[in-house]
Amino acid sequence: MRICWLVSKDGRHQPIKLPHLETIHIGRGPETKITDKKCSRQQAQLKADCNKGHVMIKQLGSNPTSIDSVELGKDAEAKLKTGVILHIVNGLYPYTVEFSEAPENISERSRCNEERSKSDKRQFEKCVNSNVDTMAPKKHKSTDLSKVSSPSSSKTPKEEPTKKESLGHWSQGLKVSMQDPKLQMYKDDKVVVIKDKYPKARYHWLVLPWISIASLKVVREEHLELLQHMHTIGEKMVRGCPDAKKLQFRLGYHAIPSMSHIHLHVISQDFDSPCLKNKKHWNSFNTEYFLNSEDVIKMVEKDGKVTVQDGATELLKLPLKCHVCKQLQSTLPQLKEHLKKHME
């Protein structure tokens, strides 16, 4: 029988065993050494299925438990697999789950975790020194963006075979999409550009770094150069667009994205797309919920981090308003019809 362990990423305590199909509650207490009063004593419920290799997690506490920075919500459930980061409450206290084939005593388990951490560190340093990230394909050929004609006709470099990650939550989809040659528009040793699978405008691309950055919350000063590079590539995508002279574009980030792994949106301002279906879609790009790329860069330059205003999700509930003339519209179909006037 395989054994499942809940492993503290910051080494706060020894791994916690999650017996097969047994309900376990974790939260504030001596076992996790969490004293934060915003964390309930029974913050989350875990049930491991050692045969299938996943753990079902349910948030019980009032404050948010999250998977790779995507909040679950009270009484919501999700599937947690190896490689996915669980934060117990408010983006704090990171954990992963691991499965072993044979019983191990705790001291041996701790020793193995320590050795694995040292190995990961050596591998990371090796990658940095060679300027190649482990998440990137083995071969990186820069694409000449001046030859990009349109999202449908663009060709991508030949992709090296890669092993798909084991993903335990729908929010991890970008980590698979960024490896898909059919979606790739451009790639270099730092970033990849893919077509949004559900574009909210005629042209909608995502610029993603190869290194793993969960969200804007964890961006720091050391990421500044990468953010600048992402912005530069986004601008090049716009210049390579065949309709660049007819359409306006914006480059920016969602304050609280639904998908894990930081991504820069490059989106044309026509918003002519059948995938734009509701108020939430519209307001996510046309309120302060959408943070301009240059503003994000300035925040990191000044403060060393990105500040997202409290209650940002409430912006998604604002009335529909035309982004050009600011006229209020009752429904999304009316707004789309109204936008045609600005496109004439």
Residue with tokens 């009752």: 330
Distances (CA, A) of 27 to 10, 38, 84, 220: 16, 10, 19, 28
CA contacts within 13 A on the Cβ side of 314: 4
Q: At what angle do helices 332-343 and 279-286 cross, to 10 degrees?
A: 50
Structure tokens at 166: 């084991």
The CA distance from 206 to 194, in Å, is 5
Q: What's CA 267's distance to the chain center, in Å?
A: 18
261 belongs to the catalytic site: no
Distances (CA, A) of 213 to 2, 6, 232, 279: 31, 22, 19, 28
The CA distance from 316 to 83, in Å, is 31
Check: CB of residue 233 under 8 Å from CB of residue 207.
yes
Q: Return the closest-CA partner of residue 205 out of 218, 187, 228.
A: 187
Check: CB of residue 284 under 8 Å from CB of residue 258.
no
Point out the catalytic residue in the list 87, 231, 263, 265: 263
Residue 213: burial class (beta carbons within 10 Å; 0-12, 13-18, 19+): buried
Query: Which residues are known to be catalytic?
Result: 263
